Structure 1
Amino acid sequence: MSRRSPSCAWPPSLKAPGGRSQRIWRDFAGLGGSPIGSCLFVRNEIDPAHDLTPWLAGLVVDEAYRGQGVGTALVRAIEGHAASAGVNRLYLYTWQARSFYEALGWTATEAFEQEGEPMLLMSCAL
Structure 2
Amino acid sequence: MMAERHPAIIVFTCNFGWGYQGDRESLALAVANWLPVTCCGAIEAEQILEAFRSGADGILILACPRGECHYHEGDFQIYKRVQLLKQLLAAHRIDPERLAIEFGRDPSGEAISARVAGFARRLGQLDAPLAPGGDA
Structure with the higher helix share, 1 or 2: 2
TM-score where L is the length of structure 1: 0.33
TM-score where L is the length of structure 2: 0.32
Instruction: Give the structure, 1 or 2, with the largest relative contact order (CA under 8 Å, sep 6 or more).
Output: 2
